[in-house]
Amino acid sequence: MARLRMNAAEDDSPDRWEAQLRKGVLEMAALATLWSGRMYGLEIIRRLESRSQLALAEGTIYPILNRLKAEGMVTSQWVEAEAGHPRKYYELADAGRKRLAQMADAWAGFSAGVNSLLEPVLAEKETVR
């Protein structure tokens, strides 16, 4: 019985919550990295790491990109590299641009609402620690 409680407590941990939050925004973040132009997978990972707190493994981003391609949100093209192996570049399709714009609107409204709820918490968080 104690083991069940421990697992339930682990499921409610801040780390698990944060992982779920990150997982929920990965599709939007992947599309957003492609807004300004085409990129290959490792570039996408590096952009996510440098501009957000989303550190991903290659095994995480490629299934997302493949699903987005299957849904017609992105296109891909193999390009020969001057040195090394060819790289698969991804680019937003028109449908992906439209979906990302809708996601950005939804995110802006949602995050603004949650931020307004968190304002008093953030203002007083030092007293909680």
72 versus 15: which is more confidently predicted? 72
Query: For domain 25-123, which architecture applies?
Result: Orthogonal Bundle (1.10)
Tokens for 117, please give them: 């709820």
81 Cβ contact partners less than 8 Å away, ≥ 6 residues apart = 87
Q: What is the pLDDT of residues 74-115, one digit of tens each?
A: 999 999 988 888 999 999 999 999 999 999 999 999 999 999
Widest CA span in the chain: 60
pLDDT of residue 4: 33
Separation between Cα atoms, residue 60 and residue 68, nearest integer Å: 13
pLDDT of residue 128: 59
pLDDT of residue 1: 34
3 Cβ contact partners less than 8 Å away, ≥ 6 residues apart = none
pLDDT of residue 12: 64
18 versus 10: which is more confidently predicted? 18
Q: What is the DSSP letter of 67?
A: H
Predicted confidence (pLDDT) at residue 116 exceeds the cutoff of 70: yes
| Among 52, 91, 47, CA closest to 68 | 91
Domain extents in the chain: 25-123
